[in-house]
Structure 1
Amino acid sequence: MTDVAVRPAEHTPEPVDRVGARPDREHRIFRGALVLIIAAAVVVRFIARQPLWLDEAQSVAIARLPLSGAAPTMWDGLLQDGSPPLYYILLHLWISVFGEGTASVRGMSAVINLGSAVPVFYLGRRLVGDRGAKVAVVLYLTSPFALYFGTETRMYSLIVLLTALGGLALERVLRVPSVKNMVLLAVASGCLALTHYWCLYLLVTVGAWLVGLVVVRPRVAAARAARRGRAGRSGAHSRGGRRPAAPAPADASEQPTAAPELLADAAGGARRAVPTWHPRGPLAGIIGIIAGGLVFAPWLPNFRSQLAHTGTPWGEPASFAAVSHAYGQWAGGPTTLGRLLLFLITGLVAAGIAGRPLGGRFVLLDLKGLEPGRTLFLLATGTLIVAVAAGKLVGNAWADRYTATAFVPFLLVVGLGATMLADRRVFHSVVAVAALVGVIAGTSDVRRERSQAGEAADVLTRLSRPGDILLVCPDQLGPGLARTVPSWLKVYVVPTYAAPDRVDWVDYEERNESANGVAIAQRAIAEAGTNTVFMAGSGAYRTYEELCTQVRATLQTQRPVADEVMEQGLPARVYENYALLRFRAS
């Protein structure tokens, strides 16, 4: 007798220690450990006390401006900055109550960041089931990516909150396409566009997916049904007219992805959501997203002005390799531990996209992909691809922090992937290790110095005197320094010789290219008289390749008694780094 090898999918091992069994001592230890890790993650969101760097300080400088009255108002500041207004309005209100201290303004981001866990959970419960939603929330709260932006005075935590709320609204529209639900989706879509312009890439991706469901999917389903019908008739003819067997039920991977009608996997382990949508749901979703334009419409004239005159002159458009780099940032961040965490998260993502639990420690990967993980990952990746393509088209730069717009669907894929681990010990170990390593890696990233503004302020407080002048080149160093330097110092930025608290990005590159560094240095020397001229400078900024060197050379020529009073920090230790020079009168 000949032995025949049996494929693993046909001989599934029994789930010897299934996730979800009655809680025991091991399960209580697991839950207790998660509570401690999450508590630590909450605390970490409030420990950042380093000086604000450019983007944070600029945000505060704009948000504290009045909403009306004589210029400059907050609206003038936003036109110069190139940002939409929603986050700044919220920060303006926060500052009016809690002040603009470093801990205070970062506290708003921490509160929003923690609050985002609630809609992430409810969205996850609708899409990937209760267990997947819980894992997604745990890994969100301990994510180095989320931890960092929970400690930064920027809009990225608000983006995550609105993305989750928008996802909930879209899921409701797909199930129940009522006017009320479409209005909720329109409000969420409009608010996203009013928070960060990269959210438009997410809306375009989701809209394209919905169009595909309305236009393409019915045709594909009809063609597939026709092929099954022809196969059935052929089979009946070949069997002498016998009735054909009933067609096999459609694979879960071919079902739409939304509401969580749960079907148990064959192995009796984890479950995948098989949705039930209303036939008009996708069309209603398209209408809701388009209607979000009505929320955005009052800001449209300002958006057009910003599109014509501001942008990202500080960087170049990214290549499509940036997409994979974004996965690394989402998974673990830039630290060594974060890169190690990437390996673990990658496995969970693969399981979330294509995994079927076979019981015990076995997971079968279906290379075609399975729902809802396949669609969630498609939406996250599609948003990044659209962003890169748009950046190449209009010349906008890429920043990893902008990818917060696509972070939520990625989180849900990871949460779903963890539920594919049917063995309880493996499940507990993977989730606990991922959460612990995430908090440790995130804490390291959060504690990293973001600017040398504090160090520069200490030096200037010790060495400068009333009447001394500080030139800041490039002007992007100005907002951070404006919050820390001694009040008796006169501070001007290059090339505008203006106050340092805000960067004017309007026609930025053209202005810098036409600036005269010699004239700026001579103006500072003339104003200083017998006082000292300091210069905070770095040569690593785009559009300032020659200008700062020109200013420094002129100061050196006319005031040869010069020394470096603060060394430029290493990029690995401080993000916004620069040197501080002193030019004394002879």
Structure 2
Amino acid sequence: MSAGLPGDSAVGEAVRPAGSGDRRAGPWGVAAVGFVVVLGVALRVHSPSALWLDEAISVNISGLPLREVPAALRRDGAPPLYALVLWGWERVVGTSTTEVRWLSSLLGVAALPAAALAGARLAGRSGAVAALLLLAASPFAAYYSTEARMYSLVILLVLCGFLALDGYLRRPGAVRGVLVGLTTAALALTHYWSLFLLAVVGGGLLASAWQARSRPPARAVGWMAAGGVLFLPWLPSFLYQVAHTGTPWGAPAGFTAVLSTVVVWAGGGSRPSTLVLTAVLLLLAGLGAAAVSASGSRVELDLRGRPPGRALALAVGATLALALAVGRFTGAAFDARYTSVVLPLFLLVAAVGVARLPRAIGTPVLAVAVVSGTASAVPDVYVEHKTQAAAVADALRAQALPGDVVVYCPDQLGPATSRLLPGSLRQEVYPTGGSPERVDWVDYAQRNVGADPEAYGRDLSARAGGSAVWLVFHTHYRTYEGQCEALAGTLTALRGDPLPLVEPDGRYFESAHLVGWAPLRAPGP
């Protein structure tokens, strides 16, 4: 969706410089576009990594009986739409790692034609091609299309929301209004950061209605509010989550996170391809928001911004600023994957920037963006693994015997590894001793602060008795400072020196130690 500003809904406005034309691409151009799209689809359909924490939690919640899913989500802190869609998907397609990720792959592929249609609305054929290619080669979009989480759904819904709102502002009507309301509700029920975008869009539409004395933007807000009625059944769970779950695993970010977010969108890290794509995207977004005309080596800018890119750029910037400000006030953590709610709008601004340029300049710049994006996306998807859980599980399957106890410290290491182990092992999490399949985020920090690793270790060793104890742990998790080390020390004092099997590997986003203690010896005569 885009914030409404006077004139910005006239997305049919020609954005190419006079005389540049919007000619059809030749056969080689069509072939090049097709190749990039095919490559973009290929980047979205497979990842060699095991499910990491968040994915495993999603799959485990969706594996519950339908009546139990809302209660599990209430303690998890997530909204319900993706979990419910995944619930149905698992029962039709399957629950293997590949099968559950295919849902996100399908949604990620579906976003490509939606981006092309949105780009066409904004800048004609040139905008359509640019939006399609920028999203197809986006490292961020490709990565989250291979993850069993809601982010590819968010990207698709934002594009659909933009199309629905633009269609309503062009030709107001009940059917288009209903589409605006449905996409509003779907976004709010998919990821809570969508609420920041919806607030910005609603505010922009009301400002536009007041300034231009125009009714359609105000009526669009009414349809958005009507769609919000569908959120009301979930409202009690949302308020409970706000009060009790939160994000105890991380800290809020400063406003410099806006710039670092663009780096993450470009693939993250310091690879040359990432740095090139970051620079190109910022350049194109600046042109899309403010360029008036371009010819030869000359570009004329209007610092007040120019439609249609101005409204999109304001929506992106205001949403990020609002989200970061609320995070600083409430202490909520920031993670770049949350910004999937504005990534498609940012790419649309960049697509407008491509269309602002003469073809002789815009085509090479777009080609640089596509090549550098693909160069970052390929290692992100096919080389870098999300979790070390598979290596830990392999070591346990080779060494552990039926009846052995596996304990996870913190509990956040449990969901990814436990699903890969046989049911003959007894598995639990520190400090609650509960099941490792999910994480109970309710009052999480307070619970962990009050934990006693020494007492837990003594009880664990006694309960394990003549079975070995295996500890999957890491020392760098918030709210567990020193506790996993203390637990390991207690087990060592009771059972002797441990056998180290796996050390944390920095190549993984989620890594862990694995150590084991031999069974207690039976007392002699």
Aligned to 1:363: 299
Amino acid at match of 1:204: A
Counterparts in 2 of 1:523 and 1:406: CA distance versus 1, 3 Å = same
Residues 66 and 74 in structure 1, CA contact (< 8 A), matched pair in contact too: yes
Residue 180 of structure 1 deviates from its aligned partner by 2.8
Counterparts in 2 of 1:22 and 1:311: CA distance versus 1, 3 Å = closer
Residue 304 of structure 1 deviates from its aligned partner by 1.5
Return the alpha-carbon distance in structure 2 between the equivalents of residues 384 and 171 of structure 1: 22
Amino acid at match of 2:184: S
Aligned to 2:403: 467
Aligned to 1:29: 28
Return the alpha-carbon distance in structure 2 between the equivalents of residues 286 and 486 of structure 1: 52
Residues 168 and 220 in structure 2, CA contact (< 8 A), matched pair in contact too: yes
Residue 427 of structure 1 deviates from its aligned partner by 2.7
Return the alpha-carbon distance in structure 2 between the equivalents of residues 86 and 80 of structure 1: 15
Aligned to 1:443: 378
Residues 1:66 and 2:65 aligned together: yes
In structure 1, stretches of 5+ residues that fail to align are 1-14, 219-278
The alignment partner of 1:574 has SS state of coil
Return the alpha-carbon distance in structure 1 between the equivalents of residues 279 and 294 of structure 2: 22
The alignment partner of 2:293 has SS state of strand
Aligned to 1:187: 182
Q: 1:389 aligns with which of 325, 347, 368?
A: 325
Return the alpha-carbon distance in structure 2 between the equivalents of residues 320 and 415 of structure 1: 25
C-alpha distance after superposition, 1:304-359 (max 9, x if no partner): 21122111111111111111211222244335122221112221112111123332
Q: 1:144 aligns with which of 124, 128, 139?
A: 139
The alignment partner of 1:552 has SS state of helix
Residues 34 and 432 in structure 1, CA contact (< 8 A), matched pair in contact too: no
Counterparts in 2 of 1:208 and 1:17: CA distance versus 1, 3 Å = closer
Amino acid at match of 2:155: V
Return the alpha-carbon distance in structure 2 between the equivalents of residues 339 and 64 of structure 1: 40
Residue 301 of structure 1 deviates from its aligned partner by 1.4
Aligned to 1:581: 515
The alignment partner of 1:497 has SS state of coil
Return the alpha-carbon distance in structure 1 between the equivalents of residues 499 and 63 of structure 2: 37
Q: Number of matched residues?
A: 503
Return the alpha-carbon distance in structure 2 between the equivalents of residues 454 and 22 of structure 1: 49
Aligned to 1:171: 166
Q: Single out whichever of 177-186 and 462-471 deviates more from structure 2.
A: 177-186
Residues 428 and 435 in structure 2, CA contact (< 8 A), matched pair in contact too: yes
Residues 1:295 and 2:230 aligned together: yes
Residue 474 of structure 1 deviates from its aligned partner by 0.4
Aligned to 1:260: none
Return the alpha-carbon distance in structure 2 between the equivalents of residues 356 and 389 of structure 1: 32
Q: 1:319 aligns with which of 250, 254, 272?
A: 254
The 5 A counterparts of 1:31-110 are 31-68=30-67, 73-110=68-105
Residue 217 of structure 1 deviates from its aligned partner by 5.4
Structure 1 segments of 4+ aligned residues over 4 angstroms from their partners? 15-19
Residue 519 of structure 1 deviates from its aligned partner by 2.1
Aligned to 1:453: 389
Q: 2:347 aligns with which of 402, 411, 416?
A: 411
Amino acid at match of 1:308: A
Aligned to 1:242: none
Q: If the length of structure 1 is used for normalisation, what is the TM-score?
A: 0.83
Return the alpha-carbon distance in structure 2 between the equivalents of residues 493 and 404 of structure 1: 31
Aligned to 2:279: 343
Return the alpha-carbon distance in structure 2 between the equivalents of residues 182 and 107 of structure 1: 31
C-alpha distance after superposition, 1:350-403 (max 9, x if no partner): 211112333234322222321111111000111111101111222211110000
Give the percent of matched residue pairs that are identical in Structure 1 and Structure 2.
38
Which of the pair has more CA radius of gyration?
A: 1
Counterparts in 2 of 1:34 and 1:129: CA distance versus 1, 3 Å = closer
Residue 157 of structure 1 deviates from its aligned partner by 0.7
Aligned to 1:119: 114
Return the alpha-carbon distance in structure 1 between the equivalents of residues 168 and 359 of structure 2: 36
Residues 1:205 and 2:197 aligned together: no
Q: Single out whichever of 136-145 and 486-495 deviates more from structure 2.
A: 486-495
Aligned to 2:484: 548
The alignment partner of 2:514 has SS state of strand
The alignment partner of 2:287 has SS state of helix
Residue 17 of structure 1 deviates from its aligned partner by 9.8
Return the alpha-carbon distance in structure 2 between the equivalents of residues 524 and 91 of structure 1: 36
The alignment partner of 2:386 has SS state of strand
In structure 2, stretches of 5+ residues that fail to align are 1-16
Amino acid at match of 1:465: L
Amino acid at match of 2:88: L
Residues 354 and 365 in structure 1, CA contact (< 8 A), matched pair in contact too: yes
Residues 380 and 406 in structure 1, CA contact (< 8 A), matched pair in contact too: yes
Residue 92 of structure 1 deviates from its aligned partner by 0.4
Residues 22 and 125 in structure 2, CA contact (< 8 A), matched pair in contact too: no
Residue 94 of structure 1 deviates from its aligned partner by 0.4
The alignment partner of 2:481 has SS state of coil
The 5 A counterparts of 1:207-222 are 207-216=202-211
C-alpha distance after superposition, 1:194-243 (max 9, x if no partner): 1111110000111111122133456xxxxxxxxxxxxxxxxxxxxxxxxx
Counterparts in 2 of 1:22 and 1:530: CA distance versus 1, 3 Å = closer
Counterparts in 2 of 1:452 and 1:22: CA distance versus 1, 3 Å = closer
Counterparts in 2 of 1:16 and 1:115: CA distance versus 1, 3 Å = closer
Return the alpha-carbon distance in structure 2 between the equivalents of residues 352 and 97 of structure 1: 43
Residue 493 of structure 1 deviates from its aligned partner by 0.6
Amino acid at match of 2:233: P
Return the alpha-carbon distance in structure 2 between the equivalents of residues 331 and 414 of structure 1: 13
Amino acid at match of 2:293: P
